[in-house]
Amino acid sequence: MTPRRITLLFLLVCLSLSSARLHPLDPLTPSEISSIRRIIKNSSLGSSKSLTFQYVGLDEPDKSEVFSWLSGHAAPPRRAFVIARSDRQTHEIYVDISKHSITSDKVYNGFGYPMLNIEEQVEASALPLKYDPFIESVKKRGEELKDVVCTTFSVGWFGEAKQGKRLLKILCFLTGNTVNFYARPLEGITVVVDLDAMEIVEYEDRFSVPVPKSVGTDYRASKQKPPFGPKTNKPGMVVQPEGKGFEIDGHTIRWANWAFHLGYDVRAGSIISLASIQENDNGAHRRVLYRGYVSELFVPYMDPSEEWYYKTFFDAGEFGFGLSMSSLEPMADCPTNAAFMDVYFANQDGKPFRIRNALCVFERYAGDASWRHTEIGIPNEVITEVRQEVSLIVRMVSTVGNYDYVIDWEFKTGGSIKLGVSLTGILEVRAAPFAHVDQITNDEHGTLIAENTIGVYHDHFITYYLDLDIDGSNNSFVKSKLKTVRVADGETPRKSYWTLIKETAKTEADARIEIGSESAELLVINPNKKTKLGNSIGYRLISNGATAASLLTDDDHPQIRASYSKKQVSLTGILEVRAAPFAHVDQITNDEHGTLIAENTIGVYHDHFITYYLDLDIDGSNNSFVKSKLKTVRVADGETPRKSYWTLIKETAKTEADARIEIGSESAELLVINPNKKTKLGNSIGYRLISNGATAASLLTDDDHPQIRASYSKKQVWLTAYNKSEKWAAGLYADEGRGDDNLAVWSQRYEAASH
Ligand SMILES: [Cu+2]
């Protein structure tokens, strides 16, 4: 959100095209960016005094052109797509770089505006400092103008029917003797800038709140008084005595059994293309992912008040996830064994600039095993085999205002690709007149995190574009649903089992998935390719916990703009096997309760339910279990431009039944707190239980005997009072046990006792 203070190195030398053949998906080179600028400056637009470049990127060739080039045909022409502003109009310009010509220039007449560039944000941020009413407001607060810094915030859309102006809001903060100005907002002031006129068109100073002192919040190590956190005295480093295991050839990276193209874009940041994996037997590469990148980040805040309601950012589309890339610090952002890559974008004037070391690539070895087995079943022999887990990471960091997003693409030798997002940086806070939680009587839309400082509730929705091309471009989306089957009495001692029902999505609507809403595996398969045994070839989408759906009402304007955020998908050991008389899937006519994984071999469907005993004693033995539920609140019409927000409702479990939780059944945070201890500000002290994706409930029927023995496997969290004898979820005597002394039974016992 803020103009970044990184050094932008302008390329003064006009590089001639290097002799190396460009890959059709290579990002625009600095010399291409210069050519594009020349071509546009030489056109009729060139005479416009107000011409600015808002987006300059590769006009990606069609897939068919790329594949044709890969099979040895001529490269498609290098083309660029440019969004420029001139005389209050948005131009969509296509440029043929090789022909030095503009192929089309169309004025866009819709409601939206292009991405902001850095220069206009810097210019707009400086306006309040020369604006008399603002200077007055600073004085009135007893602060000095020299301590004030301002940054930019997109204004959003709140139902206005008419075409608006290209506006930006400016918020100001105090630095003084700290660089952590986000912790010191000048609350109550709204500055609106018309970007085309580059002037303040609206100004309001509604109220003032004490600026948080934010003592000790300067994060620079040099400003931290020792002791600074727990010491790890013996820092480690990654050493690869034989060198790096990957090779970078232009933008193509080859490592282990993977090959892919690493590009970038000013809006998306890093882009992975043409990821393919090498076959063991014949060395041929099989296609997996045609193109993948971060497509949007929606960040709505939950405070509907005048100064905060509009904070509903689209970090990629408004501020540029690529434009906000940070130079990575060797040995800190990326390990010692990393290779770095610079990126080049166009500035406001269309000239190329570089962000040094914006991407890094490295092999990760964290001392984990990817597969292991110890075999003691063969008399007089112990066989142990362990394989190292090594993967390849492509990393970028995008710093959008206060937040730093770390985006990882992780490639594993087993064939999987893992998308990693971590958020760090600084919280955006609101100044408020509270020094203790007890002073708060209304919903303050956040948590008192320091004196006079509220951390405002908000979400981050990160959306990926994934064009999977598994073994070819023709792919299907399949939901593999787990369905409980009840067995007819007497047929078997079992009463139930689960099996798989595969459903292929026929329309896009079939492929809008709310993760966790049903027991289903999400597969992308190639319907025209099969393994030798006749099984489908594809990839499974595995969510790793942090999925969420937006809680805003459907008619709230930020939600209309990000309506996609209601759904999450728009589209080790030795397996125990059973011998079976099949050599091909086509021979199977009944439910064989598994998958034909090799000739005459069925891998039987099964679950692993792992139950932990956790006796938390947070700051003492007396702890409570609290559900912190996220609840949508609808705003009365006219009160604020927003129609909804979410807030937290805290419920302390009174009985064991209150603390039986099905994770994902509601939007709730699970906390274990010490009710007798508080922070200085009056907040609870506790730990949060965070589930990391692989939670499940058993699908067996309640009266099936295995389920009676493991009746606790229907819920993921159980809370019981301390009882020394209650150690083993399945009871002390699990073998042949009957479920009369298990976790679920203990829970009921307490319930009976407490009523
Ligand atoms: Cu956040």
Q: How high is the pLDDT of residue 1?
A: 45
Q: How high is the pLDDT of residue 14?
A: 36
d(CA 449, CA 429): 9
Q: How high is the pLDDT of residue 751?
A: 59
Computed from CA positions of residues 689, 695, 701, 703, in that sequence, does the dihedral angle turn out positive or negative? negative
CA of 401 relative to ligand 1 center, distance in Å:
11
Integer angstrom CA distances of residue 547 from 301, 462, 672: 18, 10, 22
Q: How high is the pLDDT of residue 755?
A: 40
Q: How high is the pLDDT of residue 556?
A: 78
Contact indicator for 536, 585 with CB cutoff of 8 Å: no
CA of 301 relative to ligand 1 center, distance in Å:
9
Nearest to 168 by CA among 189, 195, 186, 187: 195
d(CA 649, CA 667): 11
3-class SS at 708? helix
CA of 458 relative to ligand 1 center, distance in Å:
6
CA of 306 relative to ligand 1 center, distance in Å:
20
d(CA 148, CA 396): 31
Q: How high is the pLDDT of residue 12?
A: 36
Q: Where are the beta strands (DSSP E) in 580-731?
A: 594-598, 601-604, 624-634, 644-652, 668-678, 684-689
Catalytic pick among 403, 405, 497, 750 = 403
CA of 402 relative to ligand 1 center, distance in Å:
9
CA of 83 relative to ligand 1 center, distance in Å:
30
Angle at 87 between CA 86 and CA 92, to 5 degrees: 35
Q: How high is the pLDDT of residue 574?
A: 54
CA of 390 relative to ligand 1 center, distance in Å:
31
d(CA 356, CA 377): 56
Query: Is there a shared CATH topology between the 9-108 domain and the 118-219 domain?
Result: yes
Q: How high is the pLDDT of residue 73?
A: 94
Give me the amino acid identity at 567. K
Phi-psi region of 662 (alpha: psi -120 to 50; beta: other; left: phi over 0): beta
Catalytic pick among 303, 315, 333, 704 = 315
Pairing of strands 496-504, 476-486: antiparallel
d(CA 715, CA 486): 20
Q: How high is the pLDDT of residue 662?
A: 65
Task: List per-block mean pLDDT (blocks of 10 residues) for the chain, which spans 755 residues.
Answer: 43 39 94 97 94 97 94 95 96 96 96 95 97 97 94 92 91 90 92 96 93 84 74 77 94 96 97 91 86 91 91 93 96 94 98 98 92 93 93 96 94 90 89 92 90 90 86 83 82 83 76 65 83 82 66 77 64 56 73 74 74 80 84 84 86 73 69 88 85 66 78 74 78 78 78 50
d(CA 20, CA 18): 5
Contact indicator for 563, 570 with CB cutoff of 8 Å: no
Q: How high is the pLDDT of residue 15?
A: 39
CA of 738 relative to ligand 1 center, distance in Å:
47
Q: Give the architecture (CATH level 2) of 9-108.
A: Roll (3.10)
Q: Is 615 a catalytic residue?
A: no
CA of 695 relative to ligand 1 center, distance in Å:
24
CA of 427 relative to ligand 1 center, distance in Å:
6
SS (H, E, C) 160-226: CCCCCCCEEEEEEEECCCCCCHHHCECCCEEEEEECCCCEEEEEEECCCCCCCCCCCCCCCHHHCCC
Q: Is 403 a catalytic residue?
A: yes
Angle at 722 between CA 717 and CA 726, to 5 degrees: 75
CA of 460 relative to ligand 1 center, distance in Å:
6
Q: Is the peptide bond before 304 cis (omega within 30 degrees of 0)?
A: no
CA of 547 relative to ligand 1 center, distance in Å:
14
Longest dimension (CA), the chain: 89
Integer angstrom CA distances of residue 384 from 24, 236, 371: 47, 28, 11
CA of 127 relative to ligand 1 center, distance in Å:
28
CA of 604 relative to ligand 1 center, distance in Å:
42
CA of 307 relative to ligand 1 center, distance in Å:
18
Q: Give the architecture (CATH level 2) of 118-219.
A: Roll (3.10)
Q: How high is the pLDDT of residue 7?
A: 40
3-class SS at 626? strand
CA of 300 relative to ligand 1 center, distance in Å:
9
Give me the amino acid identity at 684. S
3-class SS at 705? helix
Radius of gyration of the chain (CA): 29
CA of 459 relative to ligand 1 center, distance in Å:
6
CA of 278 relative to ligand 1 center, distance in Å:
39
377, two tokens: 């079943």
Domain ranges, ordered by start, for the chain: 9-108, 118-219, 475-571, 624-754
Q: How high is the pLDDT of residue 2?
A: 45
